[in-house]
Amino acid sequence: MLVSVYRYNPETDKKPYMKDYQVEIPEGKDLMVLDVLALIKEQDESLTYRRSCREGVCGSDGLNISGKNGLACVTPLSEAVKGGKLVLRPLPGLPVIRDLVIDMSLFYKQYEKIQPYLINDQPAPAIERLQSPEDRAKLDGLYECILCACCSTSCPSFWWNPERFVGPAGLLQAYRFLADSRDTATQDRLANLDDPFSVFRCRGIMNCVNVCPKGLNPTKAIGHIRSMLLHKEI
């Protein structure tokens, strides 16, 4: 099988280029894209990519796979190969450090901005802060995010304004804490999201929903944040 891989080593290459590899795929097996990368690495040790858990939990191996962002470890070749060819590029929109490895500083900066931790100004109880099963259920579909950046790097609003637009991953987490019954900083959190960029640069095109490897829905969470802002102001 032909695999075309984005290569760029800033120390030796003037500009990025696509390099083709012929990879022998074992018969009768639907390998994951990450397995193919390992086979290429046997041919060419200079290829650089991130990976860790190889089972869709750590979020390290987000790639642009034949044009669609996804995790290499949980994307089977049967889904990724188009016209007998596999095309692997780094996640778009963020600076490339080398080959398939991107600099995720801006992504993490946006994540940090939404204060992704529980804030509670009440004295801590002896054992734990209790939550009803109904309130806990509100966090389903939010807490599962693994911060792989597949969504934010598929979002044109994040491409054009990565310094100012929080992006789908950060906003999903913003809503995760807005929706948490144990959090007491809801009003401050909302006040920090009211500007024209942080939330409202989302145009609702749902690229984020289309690519999320965990099947989450950031667009829906962004809609909930807008509603909360609206309820606060009307």
Partner 1 sequence: MGVSITNFGRSGLHDWMIQRASAVILAVYSVFLLGFFLTHPDLQFSEWKALFGHLGFRIFSLLALISVCAHAWIGLWTISTDYLKATGIRFVFQAAYVIALFVYLVWGIEILWGV
Binding site for partner 1 (CB under 8 A): 113, 156-157, 160-161, 163-164, 192-201, 226, 229-230, 233
Which residue's CB is nearer to partner 1, number 50 or number 201?
201
Compute the least distance from the CB of residue 232 to partner 1, in Å: 9
Q: Which residues lie closer than 8 Å to 227 by C-beta, 6 or more apart? A: none
Minimum distance of partner 1 from residue 209's CB (angstroms): 20
Closer to partner 1 at the Cβ: 151 or 174?
Answer: 174
What's the start-to-end Cα distance of the chain, in Å? Answer: 59
Q: Name the phi and psi angles at 17, rounded to 5.
A: -145, 165
CB–CB of 172/221 below 8 Å? yes
In whole angstroms, the minimum distance from the beta carbon of 105 to partner 1 comes to 17
Structure tokens at 202: 């989302």
In the complex, least distance from residue 194 CB atom to partner 1, rounded to whole angstroms:
5
Query: Residue 7: beta bridge partners?
Result: 17
Q: Kindly state the smallest distance separating residue 129's Cβ from partner 1, in Å.
A: 28
Query: Whose Cβ is closer to partner 1: residue 127's or residue 230's?
Result: 230
Give the burial class of 167: count Cβ atoms within 10 A of its Cβ; 0-12 exposed, 13-18 middle, 19 or more buried.
buried
Nearer to partner 1, 5 or 190 (CB): 190
> Three-state SS for 116?
coil
Alpha helices by DSSP H, listed for 57-148, are: 77-80, 105-113, 133-137
Task: Output 51 or 113, the one with its CB closest to partner 1.
Answer: 113
Closest Cα partner for 157 from 197, 104, 190? 197
| Cβ atoms of 83 and 65 closer than 8 Å | no
CA distance 155 to 216: 15
> With respect to partner 1, which residue has the nearer C-beta, 17 or 160?
160
Taking the complex as a whole, how short is the minimal distance between the CB of residue 166 and partner 1, in angstroms? 8
